[in-house]
Amino acid sequence: MERSRPRIPLLAILAAALLAAFAPGGAGGTTGGARPAKKSPQPVPGELLIGFKAGVSTAEQKQVLAKIGASEKRRFKQIHGALAKLRPDATAGALAQLRSDPRVRYAEPNFVVSADVTPNDPFFSRLWGLNNNGFPVSGRWGTPDADIDAPEAWGVTTGSDAVTVAVIDTGIDYSHPDLSSQMWINPGENCPGCRTDGIDNDGNGYVDDWRGWDFANGDNDPMDDNGHGTHVAGTIGAAGNNGIGVTGVNWHVRLMPLKFLSGAGTGTTADAVSAVLYAADKGATVLNNSWGGDEYSQALADAITVADTHGALFVAAAGNSGTDNDSMPNYPASYALPNVLTVAATDNSDQLAYFSNVGRKSVDLGAPGLNIYSTWPGGSYQYMSGTSMAAPHVSGAAALAKAAFPSASGVGLKALLLESVDPLASLSSYTATGGRLNVNNAVTCNGAPKLWFESPATGFDAEVGTPLTFTAIATRCADSSGVTVTATANGSPVALAARGDGLYTGTYTPTASGSVSLSVSATAGGTTRTRTITGFASGVYTIAPGGPAVTITTRAPDENARLKFDGQGGERISLKLAPVSISTSYVSILKPDGTPLVSNVFVSSFGGFVDTQTLPLTGSYRIVVDPQGTATGSMTLTLYDVPPDAAGSIAPGGPAITTTASTPGQNARLTFDAQAGQRVSLNLSGVTISNSYVSLLNPDGTSLGGSTYTSIFGGFLDARSIPTTGTYTILVDPQAAATGSMTLTLYDVPPDASATIAFGGSSPTLTMGTPGQNGALSFDGQAGQRASLKLATTISSSYVSILNPDGSVLTPNTYVGPSGGFLDPKTLPTTGTYRIVIDPQGAATGSMTPTLYDVPPDVTATIAPGGASVTVAATAPGQNARLAFDGQAGRRISLKLSATTIPNAYVSILNPNGSALASNVYLGASGGFVDTKVLPATGSYTILVDPQGAATGSTTLTLYDVPADAGGSLTVGGPSLMASITTPGQNARITFAGRAGQHVTLQLSAVSVLISYMTIQKPDGTALGPSTLVTTSGRTIAADLPADGTYSIAIDPLAAEIGAMTLTLS
């Protein structure tokens, strides 16, 4: 299963460090474990990076730029490219034009890049990454020797001033006492007086670059105004054995400061490219790159390739998002180039750092990166954490190995370091080597062959009949001389081409489906080292845009499926992936040159969809289906030839327009002209597209308000104000493979209907005749005044709210249907003018008549248990009634409500602490009853009568002091017993003794209780059967007793009923 390393436009370069945000030398804090969300890519307005094809002359390059109205801002001769400047609003069109120009190899935005940093605590022991004694760091005990064995390596070499490491970062504090003696000096600008003579003495295009260059500010002073680069530099090569501060991996080395990130931690892709090319041109052995992001740049890849041709090793931090670079690439760490060495971070116990990115195929090794102590601007020192701190350990180790083996090549250093790791269980599944850096193993190499299989990774996928290229690095220690290299494919010899620096390339063409085994052997000094990788070769399916669906099947883990199709430049395609039985997979579409057109689209067993892509050139494309883990199964792919988006025009206030998207991936676009200040709304009806998003786009293509989800039930875009005069676009974007039609009606929305209203005044009627039109009424109110609102309407659905004078919400959105609504009283918080907002929903229109009430204080009264009845009246809509009574803990009360003229209300009894004793008992015109409640505490209780909606009227309340339930006992076959219930809410409970299996008959006679319910309860308190309705006609109940014990007969009169009945048990 081969994971292609996707090549996608560079979003942002984020410094891969968890930077301590302290004052230099001061104590630091921590941000905790939360990880920030990835930022959207931000291009430099009006700038493009362009790569030209070989053979395109300078004059032709200028013609290309002139054709798009651009000028050359900077030229990159080494990569046959340029940085172009043009109008910001012309970049999108220029990109499309450039990508179809046969003279152009690539065109991409010049993205802004930035540092991504988080603090950590500084109170711990120091250089554990070089020599770990197991003492705690940041409160975490370590594991002795969980380090890179630097002291042991220093027994061989402490470095060399002949080795230069380029620190491509935020600059270096070159005045720091631990770094000043280590700084690189440009020999081409170091003649007497040359450093500051204003002349480009070495002819490299940079004036007076005697100590590096500041690409961020375009000057010759690469001083660090951030701190990150200085910290990195100290780990690589702070001066050793000088009696101050710390030491780097190298006591002696030359540090080349190349600043491309500003003090704010931002920079551009173009400046990163310039820095890499500068380092390569000036002969840096190692380039340290403690930054990264998830976007691909061809220009940066070209620059790294130039560094490779100069024999430079490019060390990159893996990233700090805790993700897998195999499936979510992080650049430059994920460039599949032979001189790129990618580093994860480990802690002082040899565990993977919690923040570190990983990659079994794309991350090479681990190195210390948590709580690393190093130099900081201003002559101070600081703790930092991140893969940014791990990378300089590897860069330093590479420089130390170069000092030990002066004839080492860049790729030779890579193979030596990767073959010298300490294997760790914690890294075995997360890095290609499964180990942590050990520099002592590297520098003590004694003529042994070192072999690294560069590509492809094990589990690769190959095509039957298509040549498979593989590369390996083979050296004697890190020297490419004195080593013999051979290779086989499935046991047959394969010829290798040597580049001359230890990199070897072979080609094998599988002839049949099945497993493929590639082996490379290196022999030096009588010792042979062999590495073998395995993959799978499969046939290639053929699929055609607009042709029939193709079903692929993978039968073995690690088996991918590939499909090919021929496409024309400018053709639009989309891809449906369903049905699918493979549990999880990634699907990519590769351009004819093998780079991704679409990278790693996740597909589950529910299927998936690749939205419309425009093919950049004519040629043969590949679709790669990559099942994850051990998943196998089938997938049906349908490749669509997507026609141009359906187009049309529509007018505000004009007729409805029906548009159809007939092919999955096809959108619809309708344009209309509008004037600044005009308001429009959009109704979406007759929809057959299962799900889509509809957006309104400004003339410049930006969104006017967010997208609106639309299903087959239709949708509506509420009124939006047009910001500027011009041509607007309605974009209908069906989701996934959905197709169908919808009818769009664009309304010219007049100003909102408005009026004034007053307490106790007339009820104005507002008419909202156009979908999207709202209504607004204003009224003057006094602080402390209580307002309620009755709403009569013909609008099918709407929301009504009341806003305070300052625009804040007094009454939140209250739903109002066609039967009207009511806003319960609110106390006005301040004197001023209030607004009532009526917002019809969707395309609803109609009228609404509000009535505003000045609600007097709630009616209050007192009532006593067992005392006289009290009548209360609520005369204004929204007015409640509150009656208070004193009660003692344990007292039993019930409440009867009669003679009620309120059509509907709720009654509650509130405890002294305001909580509910009885909650929302319904009260209608026929009255109501609150059954017996036991008072939980002594104090003042409140009865709340709350008329609903605009209801008014009166009710009479009678509060009863309920005595204990009537009691007594019966004997089977004994005399009858009369039970009397004298108070509403009082029940009766009669007991009798029974035996298991006994058959009894209960007769209820002489009943004067109008309606009641009778239940026989077993000895355990559960019901013997369902409750039985009892009226004045009496009732006879027969039952078989299930157990020995005392049974209870419970009689519960309905509501406020009282009376007596005679019970006879036989």
228 noted as active-site residue: yes
685 noted as active-site residue: no
- In sign, the C-alpha dihedral spanning 669, 671, 674, 680 is negative
| Whether the bond into 592 is cis, omega within 30 of 0 | no
Query: Taking a C-beta distance cutoff of 8 angstroms, is the pair 292, 417 a contact?
Result: no
Given the residues 147, 149, 228, 356, select the one marked as catalytic: 228
SS3 content of the chain, % helix, strand, coil (to 5): 10, 45, 45
Closest by Cα among 873, 984, 987, 1009 to 930:
984
Where does residue 555 fall: left (phi above 0), alpha (psi -120 to 50 degrees), or beta otherwise? alpha
Cα torsion for 810, 816, 822, 823, to the nearest 10°?
Answer: -10
Given the residues 116, 147, 149, 169, select the one marked as catalytic: 169
Rounded-to-integer distance, Cα 778 and Cα 679, Å: 22
Cα torsion for 698, 700, 703, 709, to the nearest 10°?
Answer: 80
What contacts 807, CB < 8 A, 6 or more positions away? none
Collapsing DSSP states into helix, strand and coil, what is residue 792? Answer: strand
- Exposed e or buried b for every residue in 275-303, given b needs 16+ CB within 10 A? bbbbbbebebbbbbbbbbbbbbbbbbbbb
Query: Taking a C-beta distance cutoff of 8 angstroms, is the pair 276, 286 a contact?
Result: no
Query: Taking a C-beta distance cutoff of 8 angstroms, is the pair 506, 498 a contact?
Result: no
For 194, phi then psi, to 5°, come to -75, -25
What contacts 177, CB < 8 A, 6 or more positions away? 244, 245, 379
User: What is the enclosing helix (H) or strand (E) of 584?
Assistant: strand 584-590
Closest by Cα among 1037, 975, 1033 to 1003:
1037
Given the residues 114, 290, 362, 388, select the one marked as catalytic: 388
393 noted as active-site residue: no
Collapsing DSSP states into helix, strand and coil, what is residue 395? Answer: helix
Query: Taking a C-beta distance cutoff of 8 angstroms, is the pair 146, 136 a contact?
Result: no
Query: Chain-centre distance of CA 232, in angstroms?
Result: 30
Query: Taking a C-beta distance cutoff of 8 angstroms, is the pair 757, 777 a contact?
Result: yes
Query: Taking a C-beta distance cutoff of 8 angstroms, is the pair 75, 62 a contact?
Result: no
Query: Taking a C-beta distance cutoff of 8 angstroms, is the pair 838, 774 a contact?
Result: yes
Provide the residue type at 948 as one letter: Q
Edge-to-edge strands, sheet with 892-898: 870-874, 953-961, 892-898, 928-934
For the chain, how far is it from start to end, CA to CA, in angstroms?
85
| Cross-strand bridge partners of residue 1052 | 1013
Rounded-to-integer distance, Cα 1057 and Cα 620, Å: 90
Between the CA of residue 218 and those of 215, 267, 284, 921, what are the distances in Å? 5, 12, 21, 78
Query: Chain-centre distance of CA 673, in angstroms?
Result: 37
Closest by Cα among 347, 240, 227 to 290:
227
Q: What Rg value do the Cα atoms of the chain yield, rounded? A: 41
Collapsing DSSP states into helix, strand and coil, what is residue 50? Answer: strand
What contacts 863, CB < 8 A, 6 or more positions away? 870, 883, 884, 885, 943, 957, 959
Closest by Cα among 479, 487, 477, 478 to 521:
487
| Cross-strand bridge partners of residue 267 | 113
Rounded-to-integer distance, Cα 324 and Cα 462, Å: 23
Q: Which long-range contacts (CB under 8 A, 24 or more apart) does 216-221 make?
A: 216/259, 216/260, 216/261, 216/262, 216/267, 216/271, 217/259, 217/262
Q: What residues are labeled active site?
A: 169, 228, 388
